Every structure is written in structure tokens, then in C-alpha cells.
Amino acid sequence: AQSVTQLGSHVSVSEGALVLLRCNYSSSVPPYLFWYVQYPNQGLQLLLKYTSAATLVKGINGFEAEFKKSETSFHLTKPSAHMSDAAEYFCALDTGRRALTFGSGTRLQVQP
């Protein structure tokens, strides 16, 4: 069975600081991996996706993630946090069944 683990339910950074949100996965087949962002009272918005074309994936709003098979990780990073990045972030996995398996989420707080 597949699973997604997000380390840290809450992460707080200062504006301008590096953002690092951790995601580890477990899958018996090569996975597709996604990061979604959720703003209050809104739906989940896709930030980026890994579909085996390239291990370093660039997404919207300056975010990127690197697929590391040896570490079974897909951590999300952004070099410089902005106040508007405050939201909840979800890592998700698809093993080809089309049903996404989500992590429990990480709430990012950005301090001025």
C-alpha cells in the first residue's frame, strides 16, 4: 500500500527566508507526486507535479521540488518566503490508480 508522510504539521519562517516543507512517500511502483496548496475557503490548487520527466520540478509562485528516489522524498522549497505563501500545503501520490493519496498537510506561517 502507498502512503505519504509530511514531517511537521506547522512550519514558521520569516519573510525572505528559505521555505522547506518535507514529504516522504512509500510506493511499490514508480509514483507520480504532487504538491497542492490550500488557501482558506478555497479549493486545492496544484503547485507542481513530478511525472518522471525530470527530477527537479519547478512550479508556480517560485516553488520547486526535487524527486529523490534513494531517499523516497519529494521536498518542497522556495528560496525566499513571501507573506502571501502562508497557507496549508499537501503532498500527494498517484500510483496509476488515479486515486490520489495525500499527506496530512503542513501549515506554513510567514512572519513579517
Residues near another protein (CB under 8 A) are 4, 9, 32, 36, 41-46, 49, 51, 90, 92, 94, 97-105
Q: Is 16 exposed, middle or buried (0-12, 13-18, 19+ CB in 10 A)?
A: exposed
Q: Is 56 exposed, middle or buried (0-12, 13-18, 19+ CB in 10 A)?
A: exposed
Looking at the Cβ atoms of 51 and 80, the one nearer to another protein is: 51
Contact predicate 9/104, CB 8 Å? yes
Nearest-approach distance from CB 48 to another protein, in angstroms:
11
Nearest-approach distance from CB 71 to another protein, in angstroms:
21
Looking at the Cβ atoms of 17 and 100, the one nearer to another protein is: 100
